[in-house]
Amino acid sequence: MANGQGRVIGYTRVSTEEQAASGVSLDAQEAALRAYCAMRGLDLVEMIVDAGVSAGKPLASREGGRRVIDHVRTGSIVAVVAYKLDRVFRDCADCLAVVRDWDERDVALHLVDLGGQTIDTGTAMGRFFLTVMAGAAELERNLIGERTKAALAHIKRDRSVKLGAPALGWTRTDERDADGRLVAREVDGEVATVNRIVELRAQGLSLRTIAATLTKEGRMTKRGGAWRPVTVDRVLRRQSCDRPWRASSKGGPASST
């Protein structure tokens, strides 16, 4: 039985990429949590932060996450308040196992924004909705993974370069194929960037967010300039095979001159 007498702690997390590319910053999360606690009359005694920590790590393996769990186990609080489900847990199984343990210790989880609704697992209805939404979040994650794999498989099938200037991921050589066309070869670093763009787009990110992410990660454009939404769009359009592709007789791609 928790004896925290109405005391709660807040928990916020971002990965490095999210801090740069999305609106779910640490400051924004903290502001939302403080507003929620004030509205509910909750005694927020501490704000625990995991900065630059991947969502793929279980709560117990994060520095801030371990502090949260320590608070729960010592009975010093009655609830943990977080912004969204994915700020706290890596997947559905992790979420349900941890919340079940907290429930047995009379510690609730409050989520400020779960599908546009607030959730309090201190109630039976709150626990029910958490279970449903955790399963839905897991489904969406798996669908994103399937779309990403399909997009990357499409790129691997088309091992060639469009006519005209070499696209990002390719460079011309001085070699010519049997038809006299210059042969183009892959540029490993650029191919990795193309794959990254396709992956981010499959996750539903906007062109502007993808451009900001690529800049943060230090990835270069074909000409070494700044990433812009239009630049990202151009790369994605090339992957959609909107123009003819040809392969050289040497097994590599070729572009005409």
Active site residues: 15
Nearest residue to 29 via CA among 44, 17, 13, 18:
13
Q: For 34, phi and psi rounded to 5 degrees? A: -65, -40
Quick one: tokens of 19? 């801090």
Beta bridge partners of 185: 171
Cα angle value 27/32/38 (rounded, 5°): 125
Nearest residue to 50 via CA among 33, 38, 64, 39:
64
- Angstrom distance (rounded) from CA 79 to CA 6: 8
Quick one: tokens of 56? 């793929």
CB atoms within 10 A of CB 176: 15
59 DSSP 8-state letter: G
CB atoms within 10 A of CB 24: 19
By three-state DSSP, how is residue 8 classified? strand
Nearest residue to 112 via CA among 18, 203, 42, 61:
42
Burial (Cβ within 10 Å: 0-12, 13-18, ≥19) of residue 108: buried
